[in-house]
Amino acid sequence: MGLLDGKVAIITGAASGQGAAEARMFAAEGARVVLADVNPAGAEVAASIGGKGVIFKKLDISQADQWQEVVAGALNAFEKIDVLVNNAALNDNHLPIEETEYEHFEKLIRINMLGTFLGMKTVLPAMRSARSGSIINISSTAALRGMPSIFDYGATKWAIRGMSRHAALDLAKYGIRVNAVFPGIIDTPMMEAVTTPETRAEF
């Protein structure tokens, strides 16, 4: 008996790092899993987990039409969606506000914030008709307090924290739970992109 026997989950950002680990763990606990990522290497992760209940869908989370396709594909394959893990995010530079460019700020809002919103919105009809569901939004400890030189990423992670709280209150009446997770430093490709080996060793 797995903890997630019979459940169906969509996990974004599942080509790498924590999303790939979450997909492995969900499958090991008996869930059927849709791995979604803009990086097609997610197909290899899905193949390495194996089984008919594990599929990959290409998804740029900032694109509403792609979300529609992924959710339709999940329903077509598995007939329901019990869990959405909004895990995908971009964190490709660490800068203070005075060095933050408009274009980069907008890019992170589109991916990290809008992408999380679109995920919740698009799974909502299926979860609302089932009167049950669990949405798990991956935020960060950067949304638990202020931090220097991580302005745009930090702002989007605070937005995810806020959206999770507000959505949880809106959706409780349908039996849909919305929670945010606040990871600390995790050794994944994302951390490699924004730290040196020395700082990672210190962390």
Catalytic residues: 153
Among residues 37, 46, 150, 154, the one that binds ligand NAD under rule CB under 6 A: 37
Q: Which two tokens stand for residue 126?
A: 């299926």
Region from 25-33, 48-56, 58-66, 168-176 binding ligand NAD, contact rule CB under 6 A: 58-66
The β-bridge partners of 193 are none
CB atoms within 10 A of CB 137: 23
Residue 147 carries which side chain, given as an amino acid letter? Answer: M
Among residues 7, 9, 11, 17, the one that binds ligand NAD under rule CB under 6 A: 17
Among residues 4, 9, 11, 15, the one that binds ligand NAD under rule CB under 6 A: 15
CA-based nearest residue to 59, from 26, 93, 86: 86
Measured from the CB atom, the residue of 79 and 106 that comes closer to ligand NAD is: 106
Q: Which two tokens stand for residue 170?
A: 């809106």
Q: Which two tokens stand for residue 148?
A: 């220097």
Which parts of this chain interact with ligand NAD (CB under 6 A)?
A: 12-13, 15-19, 37-39, 59-62, 87-91, 111, 115, 138, 140, 183, 185-186, 188-191
